[in-house]
Amino acid sequence: MKHFWDLPRRTWGVGLTMASAAALTLAGYELVRSPSNSMFASVYGKGQLPLVTALIPLMVVAVAFFYARTLTALGPRRTLLASTLGTGVLLVISSLAVRYKVNSVLWFLYLFKEAYIVLLIEQYWSFINSSISQQESRRINGIVCGVASLGSILAGVIGSRLAESAGTTNLILVAGLVTIPAALIADRAFALFGEPQDKDKEKSNSEGNALLAKDVGVTAFRKERVLVIIMALVVIGQLVGTLLGLGFQGSLYDAMPDAAKQSAYSYVFYAWVNSLAAVFQFFVAPIALAFLGPRRVLIAVPCIHILATGLCLWHPELNSWAVAFAAFKCIDYSIFRAAKEALYVPLSFAARYRAKELIDVVGYRFSKGLTSGLITLVQMTGVIIAEGAFAIGAFGFIGFWLWLSFLLPKSEGAAA
């Protein structure tokens, strides 16, 4: 068993270069997320939030389609450069539009922020997965997650201190400007370590596959069935996360009806979540993946959530919901992300660059938006959904999640 510090210099270069680009991208996202949410609610009212949230899947599908066609036309390197620079420019333009009271841009900004962040982050991971071995991915993926998350943590601290003095519009401008150097760093990674090539590219449609199906990676699902399982794990995981989030917010409101107290509790809660997530990313994920392998780690994840969610059923109070939701947030972008990414490494270019974007861009946001939309529709009929129902629903989905994890190929999870 080799230690993570014994990794080749090239592997460290690939991981840390892309992690640095991801840190800048996540910093920009953190700066634009809160202002776009608060400004939309202040202009259009909180009653429009369910509607705009329900529109997120449409934006995500449009962005995924744009990426798929651009990848076919330009290749991985120029696609990442164009999409990152384009994002920075759009954020700058949006900030100027808000400054000049073009309020309709708030609809676009609210939706676009949900789509662009996953599009860019998944491209960084596609490059990493195409440039290192699976054994190496087990030891460095958690560290990549940790370095990348430092950007969002730092931006959160800066944003909280400057929101009132600098103004939310200026923070959106900064978000756009911060995203631009991420493009240059990522492009440098391609220059230093090479651009992944599509060796499986079909020169014709002799098999009768539609061009669009090839672009978005649909054909890869038929050739590599593990992709179907990964998609299911992502969708079910986001369903669970949405239900736990709703249960936590509802329990927080019941325990602390005062908005100021809710905000104070939330700041402390997310500070703890970010701190614990960093520990998981830098220490737990590399050790767990190195000794257990991706498959065993992915089986262990829903087992942890079963215990945490069971606590909500046994003792339904704010602290129980806080533990369950914090466990999901900490694990999702540390252990779960690191193990899931390792599954892509031995797969084809189409799986790593096309199907992956379909799974991790559309799967994450679409399932989250669809779940919120369905719950909103039910509530609009006058039906009140108690937090206990969210716990029961989450518990049932976690059971299905665990069953799916056992379907992962054993060869993918053998320990190093």
Q: Place 415 in a pLDDT band, splitting at 50, 70 and 90.
A: very low
The answer to whether 76 and 353 have CB atoms below 8 angstroms apart is: yes
State residue 386's pLDDT score. 61
Which residue did the predictor score with more confidence, 31 or 226? 226
pLDDT at 91 over 90: yes
Q: Which two tokens stand for residue 111?
A: 């939706």
Within 10 angstroms of residue 384's Cβ, the number of other Cβ atoms is 7
State residue 209's pLDDT score. 47
Q: Place 215 in a pLDDT band, splitting at 50, 70 and 90.
A: low
Q: Do domains 1-195 and 212-416 have the same CATH topology?
A: yes
Q: Place 144 in a pLDDT band, splitting at 50, 70 and 90.
A: very high
pLDDT at 232 over 90: yes
| Terminal Cα-to-Cα distance of the chain (whole angstroms) | 7
pLDDT at 382 over 90: no
pLDDT at 414 over 60: no
Find the angle CA(44)-CA(46)-CA(52) to the nearest 5 degrees.
70
| Alpha carbons 354 and 219: distance in angstroms, whole number | 10
Report the pLDDT averaged over residues 357-381. 72
pLDDT at 39 over 50: yes
Min mean pLDDT across 48-62, 116-130, 312-326 is at 48-62
pLDDT at 157 over 60: yes
CATH superfamily placement of domain 212-416? MFS general substrate transporter like domains (1.20.1250.20)
Crossing angle (nearest 10°) for helices 285-314 and 134-166: 60
Which residue did the predictor score with more confidence, 66 or 260? 66
The answer to whether 144 and 18 have CB atoms below 8 angstroms apart is: yes
Q: What single-letter DSSP state applies at residue 1? A: -
pLDDT at 298 over 80: yes
State residue 380's pLDDT score. 62
Q: Which two tokens stand for residue 37?
A: 């949410």
pLDDT at 315 over 90: no
State residue 203's pLDDT score. 47
Torsion of CA 71, 64, 171, 40, to 10 degrees: 160
Q: How many CA atoms lie less than 13 Å away from 388 in the CB half-sphere?
A: 4
Structure confidence by residue, pLDDT tens digits, 258-286: 756 665 676 577 778 878 888 888 889 88
Structure confidence by residue, pLDDT tens digits, 323-364: 999 999 999 988 999 999 999 999 989 888 888 888 887 777
Q: What are phi and psi of 317, to 5 degrees?
A: -145, 175
Instruction: Write down the pTM of the prediction.
Output: 0.83
Which residue, 196, 249, 203, is CA-closest to 76?
Answer: 196
Q: Which fold has domain 1-195?
A: Growth Hormone; Chain: A; (1.20.1250)
Place of tokens 């899947």: 57
CA distances from 84 to 168, 183, 305 (A): 22, 5, 35
Instruction: Please report, for the chain, the start and end positions of each structural domain, with discontinuous segments joined by +.
Output: 1-195, 212-416
Q: Place 208 in a pLDDT band, splitting at 50, 70 and 90.
A: very low
Scanning 167-284, the segments in alpha helix (DSSP H) are 168-193, 211-216, 218-223, 226-255, 259-279
Considering the chain, what is the average pLDDT of its residues? 83
Q: What phi-psi label fits residue 364: left (phi over 0), alpha (psi between -120 and 50 degrees) or beta?
A: alpha
Which residue, 148, 35, 137, 8, is CA-closest to 91?
Answer: 35
Q: Place 163 in a pLDDT band, splitting at 50, 70 and 90.
A: low
Structure confidence by residue, pLDDT tens digits, 16-25: 999 999 999 9
State residue 114's pLDDT score. 86
Contacts of 38 (CB under 8 A, 6+ apart): 168
Report the pLDDT averaged over residues 184-194. 95
| Alpha carbons 127 and 14: distance in angstroms, whole number | 8
pLDDT at 181 over 90: yes
pLDDT at 54 over 50: yes
At 267, the amino acid letter reads Y
Q: Place 92 in a pLDDT band, splitting at 50, 70 and 90.
A: very high
